Structure 1
Amino acid sequence: MLVGFVLLFVAAYALPLLFPLAKLAFFVFLSAIVIDAWLLFRPGNVRDKLPFFARRDVPDRLSNGDNNPLTIYLENRYNFQVDVEVVDEIPFQFQRRDLLFRARLNTRETQTIRYELRPTRRGEYSFGAVNVFVLTPLGLLKRRFQFGQGKIVAVYPSFLQMRQYELLAATNRLNEVGVKRIRRLGHSMEFEQVRPYTTGDDVRTINWKATARRSDPRGTSLQINAYQDERSQPVYCLIDKGRVMRSPFEGLTLLDYAINASLVLSNIALLKQDRAGILTFSDHVGQLLPADRRSGQMLKIMNVLYRQKTRFLETDYESLYANVRTHIRQRSLLLLFTNFETVSGMQRQLPYLRRLAKDHLLLVIFFENTELRALLDQPARDTETIYLKTIGEKFAYEKKQIVKELAQYGIQTILTAPQNLTANTVNKYLELKARGLI
Structure 2
Amino acid sequence: MKKIFEKYYSNLFLADRLFAALACCVMLFILKFFFKWLGEIPEIATLVIFLLLAVDVVVLYRNEKGIEAHRFTAKRLSNGDENPIQIELQNRYGFGVKLRVIDEIPFQFQLRDKDFKLYLKSGDVKSIHYNLRPTKRGEYDFGFIRVYTGSPIGLVSRRYNFDGAKVLPVFPSFINLGQYELMAISNNLTEFGIKKIRKIGQSSEFDQIKNYVGGDDIRTINWKATARKGGLMVNTYTDERSQNVYCVIDKSRVMRMPFEGLSLLDYAINASIALSKVAMLKQDKAGLITLSETIGTVIPAERKPAQLGQIMQVLYKEKTRYLESNMEALYSTIRSVIKQRSLAVFFTNFESLSALQRQMPYLKKISKYHLLVVVFFENTELKSLSTTPAKDVEGIYHKTIAEKFIYEKKQMALELNKYGILSILTSPQKLTINVINQYLALKAQQRI
Specify the TM-score bucket, using the shorter chain as the normaliser.
Answer: over 0.9
- Map of 1:425 onto structure 2: 435
Q: Mean Cα displacement is larger for which, 102-111 or 283-292?
A: 102-111
Question: CA deviation digits over 1:225-282, x for unaligned, max 9?
Answer: 1111100000000000000000101111000000000000000000000000000000
- Map of 2:132 onto structure 1: 117
Return the offset for 1:299: 1.2
- Map of 2:7 onto structure 1: none
Question: CA deviation digits over 1:184-203, x for unaligned, max 9?
Answer: 22211112232211233223
Alpha carbons of structure 1 residues 402 and 26: separation in structure 2 relative to 1, 3 Å: same
Return the offset for 1:163: 2.4
- Map of 2:258 onto structure 1: 248
Alpha carbons of structure 1 residues 283 and 264: separation in structure 2 relative to 1, 3 Å: same
- Map of 2:148 onto structure 1: 133
Where in structure 2 are the equivalents of 1:389-404 lying within 5 Å? 389-404=399-414
- Map of 1:235 onto structure 2: 245
Aligned with residue 88 of structure 2, among 68, 73, 96: 73
Where in structure 2 are the equivalents of 1:143-222 lying within 5 Å? 143-170=158-185, 172=187, 174-215=189-230, 221-222=231-232
Q: Is the 8 A contact 1:84 1:104 kept in 2?
A: yes
Q: Is the 8 A contact 1:70 1:115 kept in 2?
A: yes
Instruction: State the AA in 2 paired with 1:31.
Output: L
- Map of 2:49 onto structure 1: 29
Return the offset for 1:312: 1.1
- Map of 1:356 onto structure 2: 366
Q: Mean Cα displacement is larger for which, 67-76 or 258-267?
A: 67-76
Return the offset for 1:62: 0.7
Return the offset for 1:43: 4.2
Q: Is the 8 A contact 1:341 1:395 kept in 2?
A: no
**In structure 2, how many angstroms separate the alpha carbons of the residues matched to 1:340 and 1:19?**
87
- Map of 1:276 onto structure 2: 286
Q: Mean Cα displacement is larger for which, 244-253 or 161-170?
A: 161-170
Question: CA deviation digits over 1:151-204, x for unaligned, max 9?
Answer: 111111111122221245445554333122323222111122322112332233
- Map of 2:415 onto structure 1: 405
What TM-score do you get using the length of structure 1 for normalisation? Answer: 0.94
Q: Is the 8 A contact 2:69 2:87 kept in 1?
A: yes
Alpha carbons of structure 1 residues 171 and 185: separation in structure 2 relative to 1, 3 Å: closer
- Map of 2:343 onto structure 1: 333
**In structure 2, how many angstroms separate the alpha carbons of the residues matched to 1:387 and 1:81?**
65
**In structure 1, how many angstroms separate the alpha carbons of the residues matched to 2:185 and 2:335?**
35
For structure 2, the residue ranges without an aligned partner over 5 or more in a row are 1-19
Alpha carbons of structure 1 residues 386 and 141: separation in structure 2 relative to 1, 3 Å: same
Return the offset for 1:26: 2.8
**In structure 2, how many angstroms separate the alpha carbons of the residues matched to 1:340 and 1:235?**
23
Q: Is the 8 A contact 2:103 2:113 kept in 1?
A: no
Alpha carbons of structure 1 residues 110 and 171: separation in structure 2 relative to 1, 3 Å: farther
Q: Mean Cα displacement is larger for which, 306-315 or 353-362?
A: 306-315
Return the offset for 1:73: 1.1
Q: Mean Cα displacement is larger for which, 264-273 or 183-192?
A: 183-192
**In structure 1, how many angstroms separate the alpha carbons of the residues matched to 2:153 and 2:214?**
75
**In structure 2, how many angstroms separate the alpha carbons of the residues matched to 1:36 and 1:176?**
60
The SS at the match of 2:272 is helix
- Map of 1:88 onto structure 2: 103
The SS at the match of 2:36 is coil
**In structure 2, how many angstroms separate the alpha carbons of the residues matched to 1:170 and 1:135?**
56
Alpha carbons of structure 1 residues 353 and 31: separation in structure 2 relative to 1, 3 Å: same
Return the offset for 1:342: 1.0
- Map of 1:345 onto structure 2: 355
Instruction: State the AA in 1 paired with 2:229.
Output: R
**In structure 1, how many angstroms separate the alpha carbons of the residues matched to 2:184 and 2:443?**
15
**In structure 2, how many angstroms separate the alpha carbons of the residues matched to 1:118 and 1:290?**
32
Return the offset for 1:378: 1.2
Q: Mean Cα displacement is larger for which, 241-250 or 156-165?
A: 156-165
Q: Is the 8 A contact 1:236 1:278 kept in 2?
A: yes
Instruction: State the AA in 2 paired with 1:186.
Output: G
Return the offset for 1:98: 4.2
Instruction: State the AA in 1 paired with 2:407.
Output: Y
Q: Does 2:334 match 1:324?
A: yes
Q: Mean Cα displacement is larger for which, 68-77 or 8-17?
A: 8-17
Q: Is the 8 A contact 1:406 1:413 kept in 2?
A: yes
The SS at the match of 2:156 is coil
Return the offset for 1:5: 3.4
Alpha carbons of structure 1 residues 20 and 201: separation in structure 2 relative to 1, 3 Å: farther
Where in structure 2 are the equivalents of 1:370-381 lying within 5 Å? 370-381=380-391
Root-mean-square deviation (Å): 1.6
The SS at the match of 2:289 is strand
Aligned with residue 108 of structure 1, among 123, 135, 159: 123
Return the offset for 1:354: 0.4
**In structure 2, how many angstroms separate the alpha carbons of the residues matched to 1:344 and 1:8?**
84
Q: Is the 8 A contact 1:55 1:74 kept in 2?
A: yes
Q: Does 2:301 match 1:294?
A: no
The SS at the match of 1:160 is coil
Aligned length: 428
**In structure 2, how many angstroms separate the alpha carbons of the residues matched to 1:16 and 1:168?**
87
Alpha carbons of structure 1 residues 20 and 181: separation in structure 2 relative to 1, 3 Å: farther
Q: Is the 8 A contact 1:338 1:364 kept in 2?
A: yes
**In structure 2, how many angstroms separate the alpha carbons of the residues matched to 1:200 and 1:8?**
96
Aligned with residue 17 of structure 1, among 28, 37, 48: 37
Q: Among the aligned pairs, what percent are the same residue?
A: 52
Deviating 4+ runs (over 6 angstroms): none
Q: Is the 8 A contact 2:200 2:444 kept in 1?
A: yes
Q: Does 2:70 match 1:60?
A: no
Instruction: State the AA in 2 paired with 1:343.
Output: L
**In structure 2, how many angstroms separate the alpha carbons of the residues matched to 1:272 and 1:19?**
91
